[in-house]
Structure 1
């Protein structure tokens, strides 16, 4: 049974060693820490992390490959390194002192509805209390200096996600257009849809809210929490 979810983005700048003297990601990191504290308050037996990747699969725990993103630290072979979404999640969990068992899953960023549904079915309906940590960025095309330059469609897309997360609207997340999300470089689309489908399968209403929403680098970052009412 899913007792709650925490939605966080996964920019490399959440790895503190990448920000230099000025911690430009501090407010975002603090919001993520707060969301994880709220998730921990639902008393899960296990945390399951879902983040975007090149393919769908379960991953073994591994070192965070900060060096691959310009930081210091040990070299990690690419085959052994965690994908960015899971690496950032692993670091956030370490920073908040998590001691629960953790499962790490990626969902392909271009996953279709069947692939999303199959992963959601693996996560839902368990006998133990499950907390979901869902990693995903919004559009990366929200300004002329954004990674994908400016696409005006980004604002309506991200507004839809914001409203859906703030209201616990699983149908709105399920209805996100995969093709549009790809064009807007919205890396979180598939992971958000896995969350929505898993919560829908468990059939438990949620209390929902957004804790952070901003686009400081032309990429939409959203932090939200869903707490299942029966938890």
Structure 2
């Protein structure tokens, strides 16, 4: 049965080894992400992760990767007893982040990570979310979902996508919807607008909207800010 969601972004700056002298600047974000992850695993029997990438794919608990492509050889895995001995340096960032969070907050767990295309249509996302809900509800165990999604990357002049005057309003809408578990607002996000202002997690949030359906959700916000001009939200949804 579907039970809970942890909402976490997937930037490399979550990993302290990758931020060097700037690690203190992202300590609050890191702490919030680990806290949300801990709450997810404490309230569920099993969990899986959903993130965005260029294509749809599934990564099993035997997966091992490294953040070497982001500057430091920090090895992560989706289970402590993974049989792979050669870390994959080309894994999607969402998979690496899920592995890092698992190792940091839930080292005894084993997870599967599923990626969805960042440019997927709203209807495709709705279908995937509905199918995932049926899958989880068919289980006798309480399932949690780690949802990895980033907001707009155009919130300041120094943001990775440069500044776009439209992004603050959209980011506010997203943050408020996540804080209120407003599935209708998430399902209605404009695909083209989100793409143009660099909202990386739009597809994942629209999967979430279909997954949660019309359930009564207790939403808890842990973090909403835009370090380095990118919108990041951390929180939990619990049925």
Q: What corresponds to 2:73 in structure 1?
A: 72
- The structural deviation recorded for 1:77 is 4.4
Distance 1:206 1:99 in 2: 27
| Superposed counterparts of 1:86-165, under 5 Å | 86-125=95-134, 126=136, 127=139, 128-165=141-178
Alignment check: 8 A CA contact 1:166 1:210 kept: yes
Q: What corresponds to 2:223 in structure 1?
A: 212
Alignment check: 8 A CA contact 1:58 1:105 kept: yes
Alignment check: 8 A CA contact 1:51 1:86 kept: yes
CA RMSD in angstroms comes to 1.7
Q: Are 2:185 and 1:172 equivalent residues in the alignment?
A: yes
Q: Are 2:199 and 1:186 equivalent residues in the alignment?
A: yes
Q: What corresponds to 1:223 in structure 2?
A: 234
Distance 2:121 2:186 in 1: 13
Alignment check: 8 A CA contact 2:9 2:234 kept: yes
- The structural deviation recorded for 1:109 is 0.2
SS at match of 2:236: strand
Give me the TM-score of the superposition, normalised by structure 2.
0.87
SS at match of 2:200: coil
Give unmatched runs, 5+ long, in structure 1: none
Alignment check: 8 A CA contact 2:17 2:74 kept: no
Give unmatched runs, 5+ long, in structure 2: 76-85
User: How many residues align structurally?
Assistant: 223
Distance 1:156 1:174 in 2: 17
- The structural deviation recorded for 1:22 is 4.1
Q: What corresponds to 1:41 in structure 2?
A: 42
Distance 2:17 2:110 in 1: 26
- The structural deviation recorded for 1:72 is 2.6
Distance 1:156 1:45 in 2: 37
| Superposed counterparts of 1:12-91, under 5 Å | 12-23=12-23, 24-42=25-43, 44-61=44-61, 62-73=63-74, 76-77=87-88, 81-91=90-100
What per-residue deviation string (whole Å, max 9, x for no partner) do you get for residues 170-202 of structure 1? 1110000111111111111101111111111xx
Q: What corresponds to 1:6 in structure 2?
A: 6
- The structural deviation recorded for 1:71 is 1.1
Structure with the largest fraction of helix: 2
Give me the TM-score of the superposition, normalised by structure 1.
0.90
What per-residue deviation string (whole Å, max 9, x for no partner) do you get for residues 11-52 of structure 1? 11112211114413211110001111221232x222110001
Distance 2:33 2:218 in 1: 18
- The structural deviation recorded for 1:85 is 1.3
